[in-house]
Structure 1
Amino acid sequence: MTAPLTIPRRRLPIWPIAVLWTLALGLWGLSRQHSVWRDEAATWQVAQRSTADIWHMLGNVDVVHGLYYFLMHGFFACFGAGTTVLRLPSVLATAVAAACVAVLGHRLAGFWAGLGAGLAFGLLPAVQFYLQEGRSYALVAAGAGISTLLLVTMLKGHDRARRWAVYGATVLVCGLLNWLSLLILPAHAATLIWSRTPRRLCIRWVVTSSAALAGVLPLMVFSRGQSDQVSWIPPLTWHMMIGPAVLLAIGGLGAVADRPRAGRLSAAAVGLPLLAVPQIGLIGISLVQPLFLDRYILFSMVGLALLIGAGLGAAVQAATPRYPRASAWLVPVLVAVAVAALLPQSLAKRSPASRVDDVLAIAEDVQRLKRTGGSVLFVPAARRDTKLVSPGAFTGLRDIALATSPQKSGTLKGEEADPARIRAAMLSQRRILLVTDAPEVATPVSAQRDIMKLSVLKKYFTAVADEQVRGRRVTVYERIRPSSRLPQDP
């Protein structure tokens, strides 16, 4: 009666299916209509700097992303800069994570649990978003999958010193990519407690984890000096916890279906802590320092996928005695239904509108509207990323507010002159292009330089052209005539 289950369990490898499935999801619409948003623009422009310039910048800003920038610098050096090259590491990393989830599910709950988990991982909305993102979050998810798979392998009796070393190195690399990924350590600790791991293995885990933590600690301490970078993250509110609550509810159902028992290494014992601990841990951290962004704990989706797979495996097992042939189709059919249900969201995530803005699109308007000998301003200064990513579009334009380039200043956006010098430079121009945010995504201007820029433009210039596209805006200003309106005030 169980033949339909035993055949695939023995003959079909699971992880290649998960890899190919996830690669297909990742490569589908990878360029997002040749759009790049501001976070990815930071990766793009920093990765093209020299290693010395990157190192110089990390002393001032973005040290938490330092390892990722160096990795992308090497990737760009080998394959060139482009949207595909920018995002391909995330696609490959997500495929690795999916493979790990599939193998974990297979080992802990059977073939159908592994297949369901491997296919479900790439379909999760958060994973679909960040598997096509030129940032480090997918790489951390891959590391979480690898380290968890290694831990399960060692807890099942294959605890070689080499595997412990690889486990520690993987946790260390993940911590250097994003030190919040160290929340995986208390999750793994919960698994050890739940499964009643022998004391000998617990000691080895403590030693290995402590070594990895010690390696990340200097980064954690140094990055505290750059905490202003995350000052924009809003304080935790009750409605921000709705998403984690839903995820924990879904994961809890999968854990219950797996029939968890204390003292047994199961999908629930591995997946539930991996899902819950990072979610709850980040909420706790955010009560002290607002840091609650789902991308920081994307790796917790490894646990959610494993629990979904366990639930699917339990459903197949329950259906097999009565419907032995039909049960073999249960997972493929449910995956097909999920694909259809998530199709609108999947399409939306692969469109430029899925992100706040598009750095590349507005560069085309700058290219069309500029005049040689003209000038350009950016409000806020961070919108200079358009110029840094598409320098050719700004050829012939003077960046009149810039005092020191991003490379020389060791910053992402460069250092601008004092307000008085910028004001004087503006008043000597006949035509200025202003690159800023479109009104629907713009935040109130607060920096004194930016307030002054807008004030001068409003009082002494008039807008003659205005283009908005995908969250960015370029406005052309020309000097108001007659010249008698020019200021004499300081």
Structure 2
Amino acid sequence: MWLIPFLWTLPLGLWGLSRRHSVWRDEAATWQVALRPADEILRMLEHVDVVHGLYYLFMHGLFELFGPSTTVLRLPSVLAVAVGAACVAALGGRLAGNAVGLGGGIAFGLLPSVQFHLQEGRPYALVAGGAGLSTLLLVAVLQGRNRKTYWGAYSLVVLCCAMLNWLSLLILPAHLATLIWARAAPRVHACWAVASAVATAGVSPLIWFSLGQSAQVSWIPPLTWHMLIGPAVLLAIAGLGALLDGPRPGKLSAATVGLPLLAVPQLGLIGLSLVKPLFVDRYVLFSMAGPALMIGVILDAGARAVSRWSASASRWFLPAAVLVSSIALLPQSLAKRSPDSRVDDVLSAAAQVERLKRTGDAVLFVPAARRDTRMVSPEAFTGLHDIALVESPLRSGTLKGVEASAVRIREGLLAEQRVILVTDAPEAARPAVSARDRMKNSVLREYFTPVADEQTRGRRVTVYERLSPGP
């Protein structure tokens, strides 16, 4: 049964994979880093994004083998989610029968948060697939499979997931809850503790080093009640599935695996966010295997209820439920495959620059992070002078490079006759924070006039010409 959800999820991910040839800022970070030589990636990790180091090196290898493209960027996520769906199906089949596995596996790829990351050039889908695999290995051990081999594989998978996103270690207390609920033997608890300790020890240096880069997540807002609506809905669905499953202490079941898999990471992240704002749903995307498994239980219960009325009708219950759900979710599915589903689009901004530029023009980025437009599409900026840049992102081992002082930027701008500004569209723009960005905006307002202004997919490209020669 696991093959059906895999084959269902695969075309779901391939559908609209390029999102009309758009790449947003998070994916642009993956793209520009993956294009760098491996030694330069390692040097960059000393300053920024060490938490994504393994993923960047993995994508670097893929770009070297197949070349950079939106397909190569996103296909690993598609395959990972398909593997996750197959794991949910296998879990359901082992714990509650093929009908539960089939329903849960198909539901996994339809969950809105999973659909978003199904086509995302970031590591979170890979972690979700790995979490499904580690949970399947745990269940296999509890059902008496080759323990040494399976425990070793379990520890390795947990370690790899943690190297991609160390918050995925929240799966360990979820698995512990399953062991306690199922009343696993003391020897199983001991083996789990050893395997977990090995994985945790392996990722500890990464955790320790990444804490020094914690300023990168300073943009995450404090936890508010409206952020808890999504987790509350998921917990309600999983709770209903657990009631229908009727788990008993000491018995391994879909509920003893699925409910902790959802609840513990979600509640754990909420708890951490009370200390430091960290609540972003993608950090616990791997927990979505839990509600998917519980949805499988709910669908199976619905089919059994219908079978009391008509045995032939019960056979069509699952296909009908999948069809109705797919139609109901179609507007959201289409929206998530649109460039407008993301904050902005790096490639569309680069295309506008290429259309509007003249050789010898200066280019300016506000904020400096919008330099990702140039890093992803350098050919679009051929012949342009990056007036604020002192040291390139590659040479400085950073994502956005090193810019000159505000005074130097002012002097450089006043020597130019024509400047192209790449920034955020008004609806996505934030007030300028740095002295450099305030100076850029101030000089452009006072000494230049806009002669062309294009806004597309969350970014803005404005061409400025000098009002008069010199102050």
TM-score strictly above 0.5: yes
The question of 1:80 aligning with 2:60 is answered no
> How far off is 1:316 after superposition?
2.1
Q: Which one of the candidate residues 299, 310, 317 is aligned to 2:304? A: 317
* Alpha-carbon contact 1:37-1:358 (below 8 Å) kept: yes
Match of 1:276 in 2: 263
- 1:49 alignment partner, SS class: coil
Percent pairwise identity = 68
2:44 corresponds to which residue? 57
CA distance in structure 2 between the aligned counterparts of 1:355 and 1:321, rounded to whole angstroms: 46
Match of 2:93 in 1: 106
Structure 1 position 325, deviation (Å): 1.5
Per-residue deviation, 1:321: 3.8
Please give the secondary structure, in 1, of the residue aligned with 2:316: helix
Match of 1:8 in 2: none
Structure 1 distance, partners of 2:412, 2:371, is 18
> Normalising to structure 2: TM-score of the pair?
0.99
3-state DSSP of counterpart to 1:219:
helix
- Select which of 124, 144, 150 maps to 2:111: 124
C-alpha distance in structure 1 between counterparts of 2:180 and 2:75, whole Å: 37
In structure 1, the partner of 2:247 is: 260
Q: Which runs of 5+ in 1 are unaligned?
A: 1-13
SS in 2 for 1:134: coil
Question: Which secondary structure state, in structure 2, belongs to the residue aligned with residue 325 of structure 1?
Answer: helix
> Would the aligned equivalents of 1:110 and 1:313 in 2 still touch at CA under 8 Å?
no
Cα distance in 2 for partners of 1:385, 1:437 equals 12
Q: Which amino acid aligns with 1:316?
A: A
Q: Deviations over 1:266-307 (max 9, x none)?
A: 000000000000100000000111010000000010111011
The partner residue of 1:376 within 342, 355, 363 is 363
Superposition misfits of 4+ residues, deviation over 4 angstroms: none
Distance (Å, rounded) in 2 between the aligned partners of 1:423 and 1:318: 73
Aligned to 2:279: 292
**2:157 corresponds to:** 170
User: In the alignment, is residue 223 of structure 1 matched against residue 182 of structure 2?
Assistant: no
Corresponding residue for residue 196 of structure 1: 183
AA aligned opposite 1:49: R
Cα distance in 2 for partners of 1:454, 1:84 equals: 37
1:449 aligned onto 2:436: yes
1:336 corresponding residue in structure 2: 323
Aligned with 2:364: secondary structure? strand
In 2, Cα distance between equivalents of 1:219 and 1:405: 26
Residue 212 of structure 2 aligns to a residue whose secondary structure is: helix
List alignment gaps of at least 5 residues for structure 2. Answer: none
Aligned mates of 1:450, 1:37 — CA distance in 2: 22
- Say whether residues 1:146 and 2:128 are aligned partners: no
Give 3-state SS (helix, strand or coil) of 2:7's partner.
Answer: helix
Structure 1 residue 418 displacement after superposition: 1.1
Instruction: Specify the alignment match of 1:206 in structure 2.
Output: 193
The answer as to 2:34 corresponding to 1:32 is no
Alpha-carbon distance between aligned partners in 1 of 2:187 and 2:274, rounded to the nearest angstrom: 36
Q: Deviations over 1:117-161 (max 9, x none)?
A: 010000000000001000000000011000000000000011421
- Where does residue 5 of structure 1 map in the other structure? none
**Which region of structure 1 is more displaced relative to structure 2, 171-180 or 418-427?**
418-427
Deviation at 1:311?
1.4
C-alpha distance in 2, partners of 1:314/1:187?
Answer: 25
Deviates more, 1:304-313 or 1:37-46: 304-313
1:38 is aligned with what amino acid? R
Match of 2:349 in 1: 362
* One-letter identity of the residue aligned with 1:469: T
Contact 1:109 1:313 in 2 (8 A): no
SS of the equivalent of 1:67 reads helix
| Corresponding residue number in structure 2 for 1:406 | 393
Rounded to whole Å, the distance in 2 between the matches of 1:188 and 1:197 is 11
**Paired residue type of 1:104:** L
Measure, in 2, the Cα distance between the counterparts of 1:15 and 1:80: 32
Please tell me whether the aligned partners of residues 400 and 422 of structure 1 are also in contact (alpha carbons under 8 angstroms): yes
The alpha carbon displacement at 1:473 in A equals 0.3
**Which one of the candidate residues 358, 373, 384 is aligned to 1:386?**
373
Equivalent residues in 2 for 1:215-254 (5 A)?
215-254=202-241
Deviation sequence 1:89-117 (CA, Å, 0-9, x none): 00000000000000101111111101100
How many Å separate the matches in 1 of 2:243 and 2:371? Answer: 51
How far apart, CA to CA, are the structure 2 residues paired with 1:167 and 1:111?
24
Could you state the TM-score of these two structures normalised by the residue count of structure 1?
A: 0.95
Q: Could you tell me which amino acid in structure 2 is paired with residue 88 of structure 1?
A: L
Partner of 2:275: helix, strand, or coil? coil
Q: What are the superposed Cα offsets for residues 310-329 of structure 1, whole Å, 9 maximum, x if unpaired?
A: 11122223333432211111
The alignment covers a number of residue pairs equal to: 471
Query: How far is 1:70 from its partner?
Result: 0.4
**Alpha-carbon distance in 1 for matches of 2:364, 2:384:** 10
